[in-house]
Structure 1
Amino acid sequence: MAVSYDKLWKILIDKKLKKTDLIKNAKISSSALAKLSKNEFVSLSVIDKICFYLDCDISDILHIKNKS
């Protein structure tokens, strides 16, 4: 399985936010942001912080797909 955070980047663009805003306001680490940028799995607490900051649901920011 693979994860895609394309929906997250779209939300940031739509809200005119930068990735640094996400670090500062959602209180996530730069290493968590690096993992998100590489479409790697991050902890659920990181996803929770992002969803709380953006006032959205998990399905609004990520998509899990089969690799095949």
Structure 2
Amino acid sequence: MDICYNKLFKILIDRNLKKTEFAKMVGISQNTLAKLSKNEFVSMEVLVKICRGLDCTPNDIMEILPLDNK
């Protein structure tokens, strides 16, 4: 796992938005919403839609995790 969208879901909780309402509002599919929930990579286009819809920046919705050096 290289990325974490916990910040995004915290914003949704703070704004009292359900995930499905949020997906419709910003114009993303349920499959994309599932990817976000699993901390999987999504396209830059999706990130732009989310940031425009929530009036925020990528730093507000995601965190890039450090590499695990084993």
- TM-score if structure 2 supplies the norm length? 0.92
Equivalent runs, 1:1-68 vs 2, <5 Å: 2-68=2-68
* Seq. identity, %: 54
Unpaired segments ≥5 residues, structure 1: none
Secondary structure of 1:56's partner?
coil
Structure with higher Rg: it is: 2
Query: Shift of residue 67 of structure 1?
Result: 3.4
Unpaired segments ≥5 residues, structure 2: none
* RMSD of aligned residue pairs (Cα, Å): 1.0
The amino acid that maps onto 1:9 is: F
Secondary structure of 2:39's partner?
coil
Aligned residues: 68
Residues 32-61 of structure 1: CA distance to partner in whole angstroms, max 9, x if unpaired?
001000000000000100100000000000
